[in-house]
């Protein structure tokens, strides 16, 4: 009897396995290569990759950059209109500095993301389709620059989904993507 509770008489490596089990191991190994390979391939052929340079920066230095960006942008009733391709965002307790902002659909912007104080989660979705959402982690001391291009016009809602203190549940922001 082959018991899991008893020591073995012979060396375990030499005990044969059934052909179904061996076949399953091969299938699983191939599936593992597919899982890995597709992720790597997507980095080259896919359009959704959280890939962008990260810079170490003191939160207050980042705040100065954001203030400079705000001054260079046009301030409207609907939000900031960035002058160029850079959009600056900072999460803080408890809101998003740099929002609201008005963007053009189909244009690629460089989003600069950071936090002034503690860890926050940047969670974005269009208002009319809650299923389409992503989250990026925002850390104090790091500026992450990720290009994003929104093709669908609409109102996009931002909430924080990383616990950041007792005001976490009132944190929200908005940005508009227009034609």
Partner 1 sequence: MALQQVDPSVQLNGTAEPSATMPPAGWRRLSRGQRLWRLIKSIYYASSPGWQVLKSGALFFFGFFCWAAGNLLHAYLPGVYWPKVLILYGALLFWWGPLTHLMLVPRLIPWLRRQQRYPILHWLGGHFSLTMFTVFFTTIGVLSLNPPSFMVLDVRGRLHRPVQVAQEPAAMLPELNCTRSSHQISCTLTHLPKTVVRIEVSSGTRRLLVLHAPQPTFTLSEGDLVEMLGTREFHVTLYTADGRPLREFVRTTAFF
Partner 2 sequence: MSGLLLSGIYDAAGFRTCPVTGLRLHQSVERYVKLFALTAVAALLVGGISAIFVALTRWEVIGLATPPAFYKWLSIHAWNLLIFWMVFMEVAILYIGGPLVLGRPLPLPKLAGVGYAVMLASALLINHAIATTEAPDNAPLLTSYVPLPSPALFYLGAILFIVGVIIAALPFFVSIWQEKQEFPNRTLPLVTFGAFITAIIALEALLGGLITYVPTLLWRIGLIEHLDAAWYRQMYWIIGHGSQQINLAAMITVWYFLTHVVGGAEVVSERLSRVAFVLYLFFINMGAAHHLLADPGIHTSWKHWNTSYAVYGAVLASMIHAFAIPAGLEAGRRKRGFGRQGLFGWLWSAPWGNPVFSATALGIILFGFIGGISGVVMGQTQVNLTWHNTLAVPGHFHGTVVLGTTLTFMGLVYFALPVLFHRDLVLKPLARLQPYFYAVAMGLATIMMIYLGLLYGVPRRHPSVMSFPGTDFSFAAASPLFAIFGIAAIFALIGGASFLLIAAGSLLFGKRVDNPALVMPPLISGGVDDKPIHQYSMQGTFTLTLIFLAVFIIIYVLNWYLLGRLWAIG
The answer, yes or no, to whether the previous bond of 100 is cis (omega within 30 of 0) is yes
- Minimum distance from CB of 130 to partner 1 (Å)? 5
33 vs 72 by CB, closer to partner 2: 33
- Positive or negative torsion for Cα 163, 175, 98, 84: positive
CA distance 86 to 131: 27
**Residue placing its CB nearer to partner 1 in the complex, 85 or 178:** 178
Rank residues 52 and 126 by Cβ distance to partner 1 and give the closer one.
Answer: 126
Region of 61-69, 70-78, 81-89, 135-143 interacting with partner 2 (CB under 8 A):
135-143
In the range 27-86, which residues lie near partner 2 by CB under 8 A?
27-29, 31-33, 35-36, 38-40, 42-43, 46-52, 54
Least distance from C-beta 67 to partner 1, angstroms?
Answer: 11
C-alpha span between 158 and 108 (Å, rounded) = 19
What CA–CA distance (Å, rounded) separates 76 from 74?
6
The site for partner 2, by CB under 8 A, has a size of 87
Which of the choices partner 2, partner 1, none does residue 141 contact, using the CB cut-off of 5 to 8 A by kind? Answer: partner 2
């Amino acid at each position: 009897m082959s018991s899991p509770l008893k020591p073995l008489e012979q060396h375990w490596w030499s005990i044969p396995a059934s052909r179904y089990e061996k076949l399953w191991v091969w299938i699983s190994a191939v599936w593992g290569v597919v899982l890995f390979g597709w992720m790597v391939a997507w980095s080259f052929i896919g359009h959704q990759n959280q890939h962008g340079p990260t810079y170490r920066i003191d939160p207050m230095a980042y705040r100065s950059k954001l203030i400079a960006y705000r001054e260079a942008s046009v301030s409207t009733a609907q939000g900031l209109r960035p002058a160029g391709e850079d959009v600056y965002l900072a999460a803080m307790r408890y809101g998003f500095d740099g929002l609201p902002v008005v963007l053009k659909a189909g244009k690629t912007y460089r989003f600069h993301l950071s936090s002034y104080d503690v860890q926050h989660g940047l969670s974005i979705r269009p208002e009319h389709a809650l299923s389409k959402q992503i989250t990026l982690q925002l850390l104090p001391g790091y500026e992450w620059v990720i290009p994003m291009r929104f093709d669908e016009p609409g109102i996009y809602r931002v909430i924080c989904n990383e616990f950041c203190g007792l005001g976490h549940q009132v944190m929200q922001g908005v940005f508009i993507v227009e034609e």
